[in-house]
Amino acid sequence: MNKRTEFCSSRQTPIRDINEWKRRLDSELNVPQIDSTPAVSTAAHLAEKAALLLLAWLNLVCPHRFERRNPWHSCVFENVCRVQARARGDGCRLNGWATNPRDAVGTVILTHGFREDSQEVSGVLFAEKVCSATNMAIVAVDLRWHGGSHKFPPTFGLAESWDLSGAMDWAETNGYPHPYVLCGGSLGGLAVQLCAGLDERVSGAFIKSSPPSAAAALSKGLTDTRAARTLLALRFLARRYAWLTRTCYRRNIIAEGDISRYDSNPSHSPLIFYLVGELDKYGYAETKASFAHWYPDDTAFSFEALPSEAPLQRKWFRTMIGRGHRMGSDAGALVTDYACTFFRHVLQIHRGRGVERDSLGHTNPK
């Protein structure tokens, strides 16, 4: 009688669960146990399901299209390819589009606001003007839960910065030229300001209408809606959402989305440009305080100056007088002009520094 038959015939207590029987048999035969998935509590599973259900419901009451049958970027640009990337922090699948013109001199990593995507008409037209004015390549990515990217719960900052790092990984793999300049507004601005300090491949960051922190985006953003029928549910979501995301991501990811927790003087010295409406609902003074976090020792700088007017600064702050969070479509030309001025300055500084980068994107001065 072999060892397997002896074990099966000698067991005294009945085993009704086949999995338990396999475990006991493997233990007797000294079969190594391999646990391919970490143990997750029932509460974590329930919280994750609750978060996804709440987000799905939020999408129903505030609908936006996840996919477009006739994407605008294919109508504006001749050479367009699809972006399929992975976020650095957790491997979230990302979708987007990109264009790399001939003899491009740099790359703009473009993102979007909450409940938008990389195929918004305004964003595509902005990208076309930037590409024409600066001859920079464009990589436009859908942040998690938006567009064609995977529906991981949004975190209003930190996880979205992982998405931008994943987009830069894709850009490097496909030969998109340095320097890399991030550009985003609202939710995208939160992602950009974090990624600019955490990823040393970033040479510049154009941040438009960014809330001061993830907590501010939740407390003021989700509760500010014109749809009266959703107000009560949105307030509940804003109060419970930090706990839900903490359970889903297994870290206090909303609190970690505060820019003040990170190095204010990163070694790669990215150039920073904030553009904020005077009447922004998230608080003009609070966003200005987030801007003050950057390079606190650089006291000799002028507010409201442009890079062309103050080229020695590393950060610039511009106020849109009389404008709110969205600023309005009639301000689009001015916003594009500010962005192109900043991008040209980043290109000039990058060429002046004589920066070389290795295969990992690390900076190596000549």
pLDDT digits (tens, 9 = 90+) for 12-56: 444 444 455 445 544 544 444 434 344 445 666 666 666 666 666
Q: What is the CA radius of gyration of the chain?
A: 24
Q: What would the pLDDT profile of 103-139 be if each residue is shown by its tens digit? A: 999 999 999 998 889 988 888 889 999 999 999 999 9
Residue-wise DSSP of 180-220: EEEEEETHHHHHHHHHHHH-TTEEEEEEES--S-HHHIIII
Range scoring the smallest mean pLDDT among 38-52, 270-284, 309-323: 38-52
d(C-alpha 81, C-alpha 79), whole Å: 7
Name the residue with higher pLDDT: 287 or 360.
287
Q: How confident is the model at residue 94 (pLDDT cuts 50, 70, 90)?
A: very high
d(C-alpha 66, C-alpha 176), whole Å: 26
Closest C-alpha to 164, from 103, 232, 228, 86: 86
Range scoring the smallest mean pLDDT among 169-183, 192-206, 237-251, 320-334: 237-251
- pTM comes to 0.79
Amino acid at 295: Y
> What is the per-residue pLDDT for 35?
41
Closest C-alpha to 131, from 187, 181, 69, 201: 181
* Mean pLDDT to the nearest integer, 260-264: 93
What domains can you pick out in the chain, each with its CATH number?
A: 70-213+264-359 (3.40.50.1820)
d(C-alpha 308, C-alpha 293), whole Å: 23
